[in-house]
Structure 1
Amino acid sequence: MPIIKDNLEEYFKINFKKKFYLNATNKHDYELTSATRLLEKRRETIEIENGLQLQKQDFATKMESLVSRREELAKRQKLLRDKKIKFEKYLKENDAKRLRAEKKKSEEKKLKEAKEKLISNQLKQMELNLIYQKYFESILETETEFLEPNDVILRYDTLKATNTDLILKLRLTQEKTEETQITFSRNSEEQNNIILNYNNDIARLQSRLEECQQKTAKWQNEWDKILNTATEKSLLLGQTKMATNNLFNLVRMNLNNRIRYTSDTNTQLEKIQQFIVGSSYLTILCQELQ
C-alpha cells in the first residue's frame, strides 16, 4: 500500500506540473497580473489537492475492501482445506472399513467352506464306515474265525503293527546294508590304492632289476674276460714253470747234481741265472786264455 500511495502522489504531482506549465504558457495569462496569476495557481492547487485527497480516500476504501475480500478468501480457503482433510479422512476410514468388511467376509467364506468340507468328509467317512460295516458283516457270515467285527479290527491292528515292525526292521536292515556298502566301497578304494602303490613299487623294482641284470651281464662279461686272461696267464705261467724246471734240471745235470733240488720257481731262476753268469764268465776266461 505505501508503494501505491507514493505512485499516486507522483502521478498527481506530474499532472499538476503539466497543467501549471500549460497554463503558464497560455497567452491570456501573460495579460494577467502577477497577483491574479498567483491566486489562480493557488486555486488550481487547492482543487488538485482536494481531488488528490478524494482519490486517496477512494483508493483507501478500495484497498480496505480488497483486504477484507482477501481475508474472507483466506477464511474460505482454510475452510475448504479443513473440509478436504475431513473428507479425505472420511474416505480413508470408509476404505479401512470396507477392507475390514471384505477381509471378514473372506474369512467367513473360508470358514464356511472349511466347515462344509469337514461335513462332506465326515459324510464320506460315514458312508465308508457303512461300507466297512457291511463288509465285516459279510465276512462274519462266511468266516468262522471271527465272531465280532472287533475281532477283525483287532486282527487288522495286529497285522498293521506287525507290518510297521517289519517295515522298521527293513529300514534298519537297508541302513545297515548301505553302511556296509559304503564301508566296502571305502575299503575297496583303499585296497585299490594299496594295490596301485604295490604295482608302482613292483614296476620301480622291476626297472631296478632290469638295470641290475644289465649291470650283472656287463660285469659277467668283464669277469669272463678276466677269467680268460687269467687262464691264458695261468697256462703261460705253467709253461714258464715247466721250462724253468727243465732248465733247472739241465743245470743240475751239468753240475752233477751238486745243486739241491727245489720246486720253488724263483729259486730255480736264481740258480739258472747263476749258472748262466758263471758259464759266461768261464767262456770269456777261456777265450782270454787262448
Structure 2
Amino acid sequence: ATLLPSTRVLLKRREVAEVERELQSQRQEFQQRMQRLAQRRQQLARRQEQHRDAVLRFESFLKAVAARRERALRREDEERARAAAERAEAARLQRELEQLQQHRERLARRLRSLRPFGDYLRDVLARMGQFQDVPAMLVHFGVLMGVRAALAREAEAEQELLAQGRAQLQRHRQDISTQLLGTRNELARLHARLEAARQEVLHWESCWTHIQSTAIQKTLLLGEIKLAVLNLFQQTTAQLRIPTDTAQDTKAQLDMV
C-alpha cells in the first residue's frame, strides 16, 4: 500500500528522533567514558606523583643513610687516627720519661761523684774565712776566671795583632827586596846600554880618526900631485916658451902638458 506523504514525514521524523536519541545516548556514554578516563588519568597522575614522592623520599633516605655512613666512617677514621696519635704520643712520652729517668740517674751519679768536691769546697771555705757560703766563694772565683779569660783573650788579640804586624813587615821587606832587585836589574840594563854606547862611540871615533887620517893623506897626495904637475907644467912652458898664465888650475896645466 502506498503511504501518504504525511505518514512518510512522520515516519522520517520518528526515525530521526530515534537516531537523535541513539546519538544522545552514545554522546552520554562517550562523555561518561571520557569522565571515567579523566578520573583514571587523574588517579594515575596521583599514583605517579605518589610514586615519585615515594622514590624521592627513598632516594633522600638513601642519601641520608649514605651521609650517616660516611660520617660514621669518617668518625671511625678520625678515632682510629686519634688513637694512633695518642699511642704515638704515649710512646714518645714514655721514651722521654725513660730519658729523663736516665738523665736523673746520671745526675744522681754525678752528684755522688761530686760530693767529695763539695766537702773540699766547704773545707776551703772554712779555712779561708772570707766568704759567707760556698756559692759566694764560687761567684768570686767565677769572676776571677772571667777576668783571667778576658786577659787571655786580650793577650791572644795582641798576639794576633803582633803576628799581623810581623806578616805586614815581612811583606814590606819582600816588596822592598823586589823593588831593589828590579832597581838593580834596571841599573845593570842601563850599565849595559851605557857600555854599548861607549863602545859605539869608540867605534865611531875610530872611524872618524881613520877618515880624518885618510883625508889628510889624500890632501897631501893631492898637494904633491899638484906640485908635480906645476913643476912639469913650468918645465914644459919654459922649454916651449909658453906664458905661464895661460893655465891657472891643475887640470888645465895637465892638459897642456
Q: TM-score if structure 2 supplies the norm length?
A: 0.49
RCO (CA 8 Å, sep 6+): is it higher in 1 or 2?
Answer: 1
Q: TM-score if structure 1 supplies the norm length?
A: 0.45
